[in-house]
Amino acid sequence: MKNLLVELVGRNVGVIVDSKNKHESYFTLANFKNIQEILIPIFSTYYFTTSKYLDFQDFKAAAEIKKVSYLEKRKLNKVELEKI
């Protein structure tokens, strides 16, 4: 997946972490700008067809709330945290 993202966006994004038992790997995309510009548009275009779709809709709504504080370069306030 990471190689696909690098190919799609033209830059290195995210980190792959293997579990201790090496039976699982996790891809982490923690930079909020990358979440807004890469992850959300991809999953908005190529959406889930399971109950994960509803989880993504909640994630996307939370990201929109976070976007305001991100653009203003401040932490989330109490009201924003309660909405999330």
Reported as a single tens digit per residue, the pLDDT across 52-84 is 999 999 999 999 999 999 999 999 999 999 999
What is the SS3 assignment for 41? helix
9-43 burial, b if ≥16 CB within 10 A, otherwise e?
eeeebbeeeeeeeeeeeeeeeeeeebbbebbbeeb
pTM: 0.76
Mean pLDDT along residues 29-47: 89
Q: What distance in Å separates the CA atoms of residue 65 and residue 46, rounded to the nearest whole number?
A: 22
pLDDT band at 1 (very low <50, low <70, confident <90, very high): low
